[in-house]
Structures are given as structure tokens and as C-alpha cells.
Amino acid sequence: MNYIELSKEISYALRHAPHEYGLELDAEGWVGIEQLIDGFKEKKGYKGILEGDIINMIEASKKKRHECFDGKIRALYGHSLEKKIVKDAKIPPAVLYHGTAKRFIESIMEQGILAQKRQYVHFSEDIETAIIVGNRHDATPVILKVDARSAHADGILFFHGGEKIWLSELIPPQYLEINEAD
């Protein structure tokens, strides 16, 4: 079983199109693993998928996009569903990073970082991850440094997305600065 392809397919199902797989996510984005397996039986290449395949996929993944608990699975972040996935607010690290394309910087520095088509804006705890994310949109992305400590103190909510990923609904420009190369 190709775990990278399986991870992408499960991410798509849980983040963007549960209806295409006959899935009903609860308020926190959880769905029963058996329901997921049943939904995947109709998809080419996944007829023989087992719970063990899903568990192995999660354990083998470097990106930690999913989690399983008590017979259920969910995507940790990246949702674009209309129905908002409920998250518990957490205290973020003092500084977070966000990688973006140069063409968006002027707008971001005026309006802040907006979730756009996703439910939440994504941040990382380290510059390296922000660069990887930014590279999806620009060969030489701009890395923004987020004063998460001040934003949190001023009432902006943050949610832990898993591993090094943090989420928020909006970060106004006063908490942002361009991270200059060391």
C-alpha cells in the first residue's frame, strides 16, 4: 500500500469532501474509522483497505496530518469545509512563522493574514517548515515572523494543529514582521 497516496486521499476526504465518501464528521472533525473504510471501498485502489493500513499510514507520516483515537480518525488541520471544525484554544509559543509568496506581502502587511479558503491560517513553530510551505507558492518565499505572545495576550485565539503546526482565524498586521535572513 502506498501510504503517501493514501494520506493524500484521506486528507482530501476529511478536509474538503467528506460527502464524496459518505462521511459525516462530528463537530471536531472526527469520523469512525469503519465509516471511512466503508467510504473508501468505492474508490479505485482502496477496496481492500484495513484499519491497520490507516494506522500504519499515520505512524509512517512525517507530516502528522491525522490522528486516531477510540476508533475514530480526523485531519488535524487544513479544512475547507463550510461547517467550522471546533478546536480548543491553546497558548501558542512566543513566536510562530508563516511562509508566503512575495506577491501577497503588500496585502498581508495591510490586512493581516487571512484564512482565505481554509478555516484557519496555518503557522509553524520553525522557519524550516514555513519555508517548505511557502515554497508551494513561490520559489523564494517570504517568511513572516508572528508575535504570537502579544497576539494571544490581546485576545487572538490560537489552536494547536499538531506537531509544529498552529492555527488561528486571523492575524492582524501589527503582529507581523518580515523575517530577515540571518
- Residue 130 confidence (pLDDT): 94
Among 151, 150, 99, which Cα is nearest to 127's? 99
CA distance 84 to 126: 27
Q: Are residues 104 and 32 in the same domain?
A: no
CA distance 65 to 157: 21
Q: Are residues 93 and 173 in the same domain?
A: yes
Q: Are residues 135 and 171 in the same domain?
A: yes
pLDDT along the chain (182 residues), means of 10: 89 93 92 94 82 92 88 91 87 97 95 89 94 91 97 96 90 95 52
Boundaries of domain holding 157: 89-178
Q: Are residues 98 and 172 in the same domain?
A: yes
80 found inside a domain: no
Q: Are residues 65 and 7 in the same domain?
A: yes
Domain count, the chain: 2
Task: Give the position of cell 514582521.
Answer: 177
Q: Are residues 66 and 107 in the same domain?
A: no
- Residue 182 confidence (pLDDT): 45
Q: Are residues 115 and 71 in the same domain?
A: no
113 found inside a domain: yes
**Dihedral sign for Cα atoms in the order 9, 72, 129, 169:** positive
CB-based contacts of 19, cutoff 8 Å, min separation 6: none
Single pTM value for the model: 0.75
Q: Are residues 42 and 101 in the same domain?
A: no
Among 123, 20, 4, 23, which Cα is nearest to 73's? 23
Task: Give the position of cell 517568511.
Answer: 143
Q: Are residues 47 and 11 in the same domain?
A: yes
The secondary structure of residue 134, as a DSSP letter, is H
